[in-house]
Chains A and B, each alone.
Chain A
Amino acid sequence: DAKTTQPTSMDCAEGRAANLPCNHSTISGNEYVYWYRQIHSQGPQYIIHGLKNNETNEMASLIITEDRKSSTLILPHATLRDTAVYYCIVRPSRNRDDKIIFGKGTRLHILP
């Protein structure tokens, strides 16, 4: 089973910040939080990842709570092209048992 839970869907107005939550209450100390998104029927695309500090790149920001049990992906100025399914996963450390399990993700609708 996926180790993360996300809302099924969310709406956000174009130009506003989109805040996508993810719960990962059983995360281990050596596991990172990764975010991916899938636009229509394309292959999923990496967005950002982090361990315990907040992270920012050209696409988004990632806020991880101090206890690491949840995180929020922030798209600062959402556009229509950000309409996609967003997946939050936790990644085990690089070892033999590297099963990467995705949940169903959050379907984000950007409204004009």
Chain B
Amino acid sequence: DAGITQSPRHKVTETGTPVTLRCHQTENHRYMYWYRQDPGHGLRLIHYSYGVKDTDKGEVSDGYSVSRSKTEDFLLTLESATSSQTSVYFCAISGSGANVLTFGAGSRLTVL
């Protein structure tokens, strides 16, 4: 979607390797979110940020860390990827008056 990009869009990695997914926005929105989506589980919140250097845990934060050093970027890091972290990861932003979430196109991660 316009104003939010995720990278990489696809990644295959091996168990035990570190992985960083990037969410970049050009909307200057305050809030940013990382979700994962797996069959049968819908969207589950991993971490979210309510400002630069202000982050908090979501529903499924174990094994993940995040950083937000500037408004436009929200990084999701898997320090040591496991097969259970194979998933599609979505970033979302909000901050306009209506508090509508805008989602990125998703990053598909496969951990072998």
Interface residues of A (CB under 8 A from B): 32, 34, 36, 41-46, 49, 85, 87, 91, 94, 96-105
Contact of A43 among B40, B59, B90, B100 (CB under 8 A): B90
Which residues does chain B contribute within 8 Å of A87, judged by CB atoms? 42-43
Total A-B residue contacts, Cβ distance less than 8 Å? 60
Closest Cβ neighbor of B30 among chain A residues: A94
Q: Contact at B99–A94, with CB atoms within 8 Å?
A: yes
Measured CB to CB, the residues of B under 8 A from A are 1, 31, 33, 35, 40-45, 48, 50, 54, 56, 58-59, 88, 90, 92, 98-106
Among candidates A36, A85, A94, A99, residue contacting B56 with C-beta atoms closer than 8 Å: A99
Main secondary structure of the interface of B (DSSP, over half): strand
Having A41-B88, A43-B90, A44-B101, one finds 8 other A-B pairs with CB under 8 Å, namely A42-B106, A43-B103, A44-B43, A85-B42, A99-B58, A100-B92, A102-B42, A102-B43
A9 to B99, CA, bound (A): 27
A contact patch SS: loop
Among the interface residues B43, B50, B104, B105, which one has the most CB atoms of the partner chain A within 10 A?
B43
What separation, in Å, do the CA atoms of A42 and B54 have in the docked complex? 28
Alpha-carbon gap, A34 to B101, bound state (A): 10
* Interchain CB contact (< 8 A) of B48 among A41, A94, A99, A105: A99
Give Cα A108 to B26, complex, Å: 33
**Cβ B45 vs Cβ A34 within 8 A:** no
Once the chains bind, are B104 and A43 in contact (CB under 8 Å)? yes
Q: Which residues of B contact A91 (CB under 8 A)?
A: 99
What residues of B have a CB within 8 angstroms of the CB of A43 in the complex?
1, 90, 92, 103-106
